Structure 1
Amino acid sequence: MSLILSAMLEAATVIGAGAAVPVAVPQEAVAVEGYEAQLQRGRALATSGDPAQREQALALYTAMLARSPDNSDVLLARGRTYSWMRRYPEAEADLKAVVERKPGYADGWSALGDMYLWSDRPADAVAAYTHWVELMPNDPAATMARGRAYRAANDVAAARADFAAAGVRGADATELERLLASLSPPIAVPDALVSGGYRWSLRAGLDHTGFNGSRSNWRDADVSLRRRFDGGSLALEWVQAHRFDRTTSGWALDGYAKLWSRAYANARYQHGPDGGILPRDAWRVELFQGVGHGWELSASIDHLRFSSNTEFYGIGIGRYVGNWYARYKLQHVPGVGSGSWSHRALVRNYYRGDADDYVEFSASTGRSTDLDRTGGLVRNNNAAFGVAWSHYFRPQWGFKIGAGYADDADGINEQRLWFSLYHRW
């Protein structure tokens, strides 16, 4: 009999033009095996990960429901399969029907919450998981699932409370440690090292600088496409600078790599045309190392090649306290006599407790290249100040806006405005 059912299931998928087209499983085929055997077969097909086999599972579940329309277990199984296939409207219809018929069915609320979370509806996921928690208050999986939904909704305090409660209820210690760590602001470069479940990100930015006196305005633009990997990330960037009534474009590769424990590195190479405003070649290497409780040390080398070479050597120290991060960096440029020095300070508050949303304040003095968004112009200021705001208004969409003022060493004051738009997937 099992051979007959296998043949019927194979016939349920018609192959044409390179695509699998599901057709209904005949009622005779469904009647061949018992209910439990049919359900187990459907689960095996649905969890295989193979799209064609999942189509077969859907066909089998649909045939079973035609014989028994009120069977919540089969409706739940079909709804989960739709979710795995990212057919979210169909999944929602099935799973909502399950919980409406059986409000005390914990697995139904669990599956509905998963579907909402996967389809970027974290508030709805929280509501569904809350029903699951109420039905099974001692199950750590329910509390951890709701904590993940709170995290996706950027409610870090509620997520932390749920993860802590799951620990009391016996959650796996390793998984719990990972989840709690995901709530902490990442070290120094939130966009470059932490994926948040996303593999790609795109940034487009504009920068306007105005001056007193007769100097014309500067306009800069940059576009960056970044791919994240388990051990870091790599970005391809295009930059353009319009300064002194001239325009120069260049491209760059910017990479971050995790190294040993609590250490990572940033390496960047940028190339521009000969005789342009931007350097012909510029590269940077910076190493970060976490030490003690919340401290971070760094060392960097920047090299710019115009008609001659310019190098910057820097050391920095950072400190995390709660949702606050502060950093000081000292840079030295070798030259005549003892060369020149610059000082930079930054204070950042992750006001929502995640890596995406923060307000930062910066101040600097001296000769530096770090202040330049296009990665290759030396700025020499008596004093410079800036403020910026980063915010994600949707899980996949965010922006950063900033303003600054600088008292240039050559006696010209500048006022800066910049804006970047972020998208990730």
Structure 2
Amino acid sequence: MTSRKLSMPHTTLRRSAGFSLYAPLWLALAVSPAAWAQSSSASPPSLSEQMLQVRQLATNGQRDAAIERYSALLQEHPDNGDLLLARGRTYAWMGHYTQSEADLTAVVQRSPTYADAWSALGDMYSWSDRPQQAIAAYSHWVELAPQDPAAYIARGRAYRAGGDRDAARADFASARACGADPAEMASLEASLTRRTANPEAMINDGFRWTLRAGIDHTGFSGGRQDWNDVDVSLRRRFEHGSLALELLRADHFGRNDTAWALDGYTSLWPRAYANLRYQRGPDSGILPRLGWRAEVFQGVGSGWELSASVDHLRFSSDTEFYGVGVGRYAGNWYTRYKLQHVPGAGSGSWSHRLLVRNYYRGDADDYLELSLGNGRSTDFDNFGGIVRNNNAAIGAAWTHFITPRWGFKLGAGYADNADGFNEQDLSFALYSRW
């Protein structure tokens, strides 16, 4: 058995309206002798027809009833691999992976050339977040059906979930060569673009240099004087990371300060990378005289990313921020929650930040993002590590590349400042790559 899909006739059994198995005898006698003879000789539903009926139960949400029927049929046909396969698939749909694995493993042991069984086993491993076992199962399917693009697509997805993007790219190329839908393959190939918490710093998109120039305007309620911040950065990409030289200028309360910084990202070990930053400012002013950051990101499981960070700022005294975060990559979506703690009197202070990003074109260049937060926090990505203390804050941004070399970022935000002022923020940045 090497077929991909289990094929069954689409037969529906109907019972005439008003007819009952307990119909009076006179009704049966009223039927013509020929019809009586025909109904008497009618055979019961075949096994294929019964399996089709049970499958309809499973696909219509009545999976417990389907499992009972499959189990009853297996009592009558204990050596039927199709029945065992069908029950194993249903268990997998229900999330009962232990029972599903037992059934599907039994099928492939009995029939090691049954391609559909290896496909089902690979699906079960994928759904239960076991990409390495899924790859092994799908590899059997590929061997048995080397011209089936679905086999390469399934294994490519498993490779992607396991973090092996090169192997996934090779499988998607094989699927395309076998005649897979071009639009589907374009979407899958785009999904292999590596996404990180800071895409412009870690993504090697074929350009070595990126120049970024941005301006941020913050207005306040209550007659407080506006803030204006400007930054210019030149980033050089390398095979396993990037390094940027930044110039920062802040105009707050009628005072101007300038600082410079080095901001680097580098790969560490499989599925891990780090951000290291060093910044110098004036001896006294609105920007810190010294600042540094160390943050490590580690991918885990299927699409999850953990992080830990330390930020150090020196104004007239030293302040440190300790953070932990968890991110999730799912299709074209990226979500990240970060908790930061500032030691101090009592239990110190805490801040919470949530970022939701959608890569609406499937690449790493174009995305929409929404951010929410509260508490005392700092972010070196925002003009030199300005410390903000907000009761609540919300922001939105749009990053878009008009051409491969030119792009922009628009942002807007609102915050209820803990000092009693409300903030309204507008920002714009222009990107050039070569």
> What residue number does 2:405 align with?
396
> What residue number does 2:340 align with?
331
Q: CA offsets per residue over residues 194-231 of structure 1, 9 Å max, x none?
A: 12111000000000000011210000000000001111
Residues 372, 378 of structure 1: 8 Å contact kept: no
Q: CA offsets per residue over residues 88-146 of structure 1, 9 Å max, x none?
A: xxxxxxxxxxxxxxxxxxxxxxxxxxxxxxxxxxxxxxxxxxxxxxxxxx9x9xxxxxx
> What residue number does 1:270 align with?
279
Distance 1:406 1:332, change over 3 A: same
CA distance in structure 2 between the aligned counterparts of 1:165 and 1:231, rounded to whole angstroms: 29
Residues 276, 295 of structure 2: 8 Å contact kept: yes
Counterpart secondary structure, 1:300:
strand
> What residue number does 2:292 align with?
283
Larger Rg belongs to: 2
> What residue number does 1:21 align with?
none
Distance 1:244 1:160, change over 3 A: farther
> What residue number does 1:254 align with?
263
> What residue number does 2:317 align with?
308
Once the 2 structures are TM-superposed, how far is the Cα of residue 375 of structure 1 from its aligned partner? Answer: 2.2
Instruction: Kindly report which structure 2 residues correspond to 1:108-257, keeping only aligned pairs within 5 A, or say none.
Output: 163=173, 165-168=175-178, 180=189, 183-257=192-266
Residues 329, 344 of structure 1: 8 Å contact kept: yes
> What residue number does 1:381 align with?
390
CA distance in structure 2 between the aligned counterparts of 1:293 and 1:181, rounded to whole angstroms: 18
* Structure 2 unaligned blocks of 5 or more: 1-146, 150-168
CA distance in structure 2 between the aligned counterparts of 1:164 and 1:387, rounded to whole angstroms: 40
How large is the Cα RMSD of the aligned pairs? 2.5
Residues 191, 332 of structure 2: 8 Å contact kept: no
Residues 263, 288 of structure 1: 8 Å contact kept: yes
Once the 2 structures are TM-superposed, how far is the Cα of residue 245 of structure 1 from its aligned partner? Answer: 1.0
Instruction: Kindly report which structure 2 residues correspond to 1:5-154, keeping only aligned pairs within 5 A, or say none.
Output: none
Residues 264, 288 of structure 1: 8 Å contact kept: yes
Residues 392, 398 of structure 1: 8 Å contact kept: yes
Residues 191, 362 of structure 2: 8 Å contact kept: no
Distance 1:189 1:225, change over 3 A: same
What amino acid sits opposite 1:200 in the alignment?
A: W
TM-score (norm 2): 0.58
Once the 2 structures are TM-superposed, how far is the Cα of residue 265 of structure 1 from its aligned partner? Answer: 0.1
Counterpart secondary structure, 1:265:
strand
TM-score (norm 1): 0.59
What amino acid sits opposite 2:178 in the alignment?
A: V
> What residue number does 2:303 align with?
294
Q: 1:411 aligns with which of 404, 413, 420?
A: 420
Residues 371, 379 of structure 1: 8 Å contact kept: no
CA distance in structure 2 between the aligned counterparts of 1:233 and 1:363, rounded to whole angstroms: 28
Q: Verify: 1:423 aligned to 2:432, yes or no.
A: yes
What amino acid sits opposite 2:409 in the alignment?
A: K
CA distance in structure 1 between the aligned counterparts of 2:402 and 2:381, rounded to whole angstroms: 26
Counterpart secondary structure, 1:166:
helix
Residues 208, 237 of structure 2: 8 Å contact kept: yes
Identity %: 67
Q: CA offsets per residue over residues 286-320 of structure 1, 9 Å max, x none?
A: 00000000000000000000000000000000001
CA distance in structure 2 between the aligned counterparts of 1:378 and 1:387, rounded to whole angstroms: 19
